[in-house]
């Protein structure tokens, strides 16, 4: 069984947000193991190409982040089509049929934004809507399950994705044993 946790760093909160970093973590929730990770940075000066959206509130938020977070503004990064191709290659390494779920932090965010970018650039996304899962919803249903300690810098794509994947595995384990979500 393989699940994927996504975390994007973006310049907008809309579905067609410009993306500057993609973090993804493949994990096996039954064995409670992280399998492999993916990270890509997208050149901010090209991030608005392909009709991607920028908004002032999000840019202002970025201006107030610590250096380690703003380091993701990387003009040495890829252009969006290269980053998405690398992501698809990484995902297809485990394909076909083995990815059972693609998680994002919010029903309307990471999965929606990455799918929209894939459609805009490549015509389609490499996973089905049937595989979409929301980590934020799962977390809200099990507020008593503690998060693991955060490693690295919050608001950096791979560190966020890793943290969410580890917490998600704890939450899914609770779901298997308790089956009593606090709805
Ligand atoms: Mg993040």
**Which helix (H) or strand (E) element contains residue 92?**
helix 80-92
pLDDT of 6 above 80: yes
Strand order, beta sheet including 2-10: 33-41, 19-28, 2-10, 99-104, 132-134
CA of 169 to the centre of ligand 1 (A): 18
Per-state percent for the chain, helix, strand, coil, to nearest 5: 40, 20, 40
CA of 83 to the centre of ligand 1 (A): 17
**What is the average pLDDT across 132-139?**
97
Beta bridge partners of 79: none
CA of 120 to the centre of ligand 1 (A): 22
pLDDT for the residue 178: 77
Q: What are the boundaries of each domain within the chain?
A: 2-177
Q: How far apart are CA 177 and CA 30, in angstroms?
A: 12
pLDDT for the residue 69: 94
**What is the average pLDDT across 147-158?**
96
**What is the average pLDDT across 12-16?**
97
Residues 38-81 have pLDDT tens digits of 999 999 999 999 999 999 999 999 999 999 999 998 889 999 99
Long-range contacts, stretch 166-169, CB < 8 angstroms, 24+ apart: 166/34, 167/135, 167/139, 168/3, 168/5, 168/27, 168/29, 168/103, 168/135, 168/138, 169/27, 169/29, 169/32
CA of 156 to the centre of ligand 1 (A): 5
- Which tops the pLDDT comparison, 99 or 45? 45
CA of 53 to the centre of ligand 1 (A): 17
- Gyration radius (Cα) of the chain, Å: 16
pLDDT for the residue 99: 79
Q: 183: pLDDT confidence band, cut at 50, 70 and 90?
A: low
In CATH, which superfamily holds the domain spanning 2-177? Answer: Ribonuclease H-like superfamily/Ribonuclease H (3.30.420.10)
CA of 179 to the centre of ligand 1 (A): 28
Around ion ligand 1, which residues have CB less than 5 A away? 7, 160
pLDDT for the residue 95: 64
Q: Which of 44, 27, 39 is nearest to 152 (CA)?
A: 39
**What single DSSP character describes residue 12?**
-
CA of 20 to the centre of ligand 1 (A): 11
CB 104 within 8 A of CB 134: yes
């Amino acid at each position: 069984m393989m699940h994927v946790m996504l975390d994007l760093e973006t310049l907008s909160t809309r579905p067609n947000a410009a993306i500057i970093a993609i973090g993804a973590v493949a994990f096996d929730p039954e064995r409670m193991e992280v399998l492999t990770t993916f990270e890509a940075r997208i050149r901010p000066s090209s991030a608005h190409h392909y009709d991607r959206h920028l908004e002032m509130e999000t840019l202002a938020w970025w201006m107030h982040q610590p250096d380690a977070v703003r380091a993701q503004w990387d003009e040495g990064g890829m252009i969006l089509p290269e980053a998405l191709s690398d992501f698809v290659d990484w995902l297809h390494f485990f394909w076909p049929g083995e990815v059972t779920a693609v998680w994002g932090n919010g029903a309307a965010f990471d999965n929606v934004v990455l799918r929209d970018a894939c459609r805009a650039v490549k015509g389609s996304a490499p996973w089905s809507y049937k595989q979409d899962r929301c980590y934020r919803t799962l977390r809200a249903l099990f507020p008593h399950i503690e998060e693991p300690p955060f490693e690295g810098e919050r608001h950096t794509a791979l560190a966020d994705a890793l943290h969410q994947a580890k917490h998600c595995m704890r939450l899914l384990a609770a779901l298997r044993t308790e089956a009593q979500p606090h709805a």
